[in-house]
Structures are given as C-alpha cells and as structure tokens.
Structure 1
C-alpha cells in the first residue's frame, strides 16, 4: 500500500507559504506564478492554515470583497485534518472525500513537512495501478 511518503518523495516536500497579513491579491499572484492552487499560511514558522483558490472564490468574489483589501487571514481555511508521511493514499482519499477538501497538510510531529493535494492522490493511485498492471502482465508472460 502506497503511503504519503511516496507522494512527498516524488513531488518533493517544499511548501510555498504566505503570511496571514498579506493581501489576497499577493497570494493569488504567487499561486498563479507557481501554477498551484494553495499556499500554506505561516507566521513565525508556525502553521496556521491553508489558503486556496476555493477560499478566494467563496470568501472574496461571491461576497463582493476586494482581493486588494482582504488579508489572507480573513479567508484561509483552518482546522484541516492533518496526516503523516505514514498515512496511506487510501486514507487521504477518504479524509478528502469525507471533508470535501482538496488539500491536506502533512506533519511529522509538530513540524509541517509537506502538502498533499487531491491531484497528488489521484496521480499516485494511477501510478500504483500501472505498476500492478505491469506486474500482472509480467507474471502472465513468464
């Protein structure tokens, strides 16, 4: 069974962060530049939450707020479930489905060590299926 550690090994554990007092427009520009859908919100190297494109759409656009006046802290998601590198990919899928979320922070103890997205989970599932198919084909042909 593949684990979160496999995802982090494949994609890396580097996490892009933003300060809670930054304006939302800055966070959006960074997400656009890096072609990602979320940023980790930190202050004094402490994890506070995650800000996502969905947060922007639901908490800024729909409410008629300005991304130039609104801070990240006002719209970030907090209290998300936490996972560890030892959690399985199936566990991630279950947690994401149950909570209707697309990103999970990964912690080793109290230290943030990565972020897993729904895209990461789907990609890892597809890679695992391809590996299983290759093994079965090899078995059949031997």
Structure 2
C-alpha cells in the first residue's frame, strides 16, 4: 500500500488553500466556491491552528442563524485537527477518515504543513489501484504474462 508521501507526489493539484483565523466567514466561503473545494486550512503565523469546511459553515452559521458578514473563521473552525504524516499508509488514512467521519486530512511533517489529502484523493487512488489489478488478472487469464 502506498504512503501519504507517495500520494502527495502523484497528486496533480498540490495547492493547499488556507485562511487566517481572523478571516471573515463570508470571504472564506467565497474562496471555497471560487476554488471548488470543500475545506480550508486555518493557519496562524504559518502554523496549522484549525480547519474549516462547508459543513462547519452550514452547522455553525446557517443553522444557528449567525451572520457570515461579521463572524470570523476562528468562531466556526474545528481547532482539534486530525493530521497524518508522510510515512502513514493510505489504508491508515482511509480507516481514520471512516472512523472519525473526516473528509480532509492535513499532512504534517516535523510540525510543518506539507499537504492535504481528501477523501476524493483516496477514492481515486483506490479505483485506479483496483483497475490495475483487474487488468493484470485479465492478462494472466488470457496467458499474457509480462
């Protein structure tokens, strides 16, 4: 099974989008929409201090009828961020996401943010891996040995 580091190297889009804790919620929501992403990392002086997702917005702004114009990201972000390291396996990441109901996993090495994995990244990898295995099995059945 591949590691997180291998997955990050293979990702076509390596950009990690972030905001500061004092960013207005409305500005963060605009960034989510503009980039077509589901979560933003919250950084303060270059350090990961939280994560904010569309789910946070819906649950903490819309459902509580607060204003996105006057609320700051620090008011709605998840501050206990679950992270993984570059040596962790993708199997471990999938299990962690399943158990903790997560859609995004920041990747941290030696205290520094180095990337972000989404559930979509892991699903794409799993599908590609299974397709490759099916192709190998079909070749074996047909007697086409590499």
- TM-score normalised over the length of structure 2: 0.91
Whether the aligned pair in 2 keeps the contact of 1:39 and 1:50 (CA below 8 Å) is yes
Q: How does 1:121-132 map to 2 (within 5 A)?
A: 121-132=122-133
Q: How does 1:36-47 map to 2 (within 5 A)?
A: 36-47=37-48
How many Å apart are 1:107 and its aligned residue?
1.0
- TM-score normalised over the length of structure 1: 0.94
Whether the aligned pair in 2 keeps the contact of 1:84 and 1:108 (CA below 8 Å) is yes
Tell me how far apart the structure 1 counterparts of residues 6 and 33 of structure 2 sit (CA, whole Å).
26
**Structure 1 residues 48 and 83, CA, compared in 2 at 3 Å: closer, same or farther?**
same
Whether 2:2 is the aligned partner of 1:2: answer: yes
Paired residue for 1:21? 22
Provide the alpha-carbon RMSD of the alignment.
Answer: 1.2
Paired residue for 1:67? 68
Tell me how far apart the structure 2 counterparts of residues 135 and 6 of structure 1 sit (CA, whole Å).
22
1:90-126 superposed Cα distances (whole Å, 9 cap, x missing partner): 1111111111111111011111111111111111111
How many Å apart are 1:84 and its aligned residue?
1.3
Q: How does 1:1-142 map to 2 (within 5 A)?
A: 1-11=1-11, 12-141=13-142, 142=144
Structure 1's unaligned 5+ residue stretches are: none
How many Å apart are 1:8 and its aligned residue?
1.2
Tell me how far apart the structure 1 counterparts of residues 87 and 134 of structure 2 sit (CA, whole Å).
24
Q: Which has the higher contact order (CA 8 A, sep 6+)?
A: 1
The structure with more radius of gyration: 2
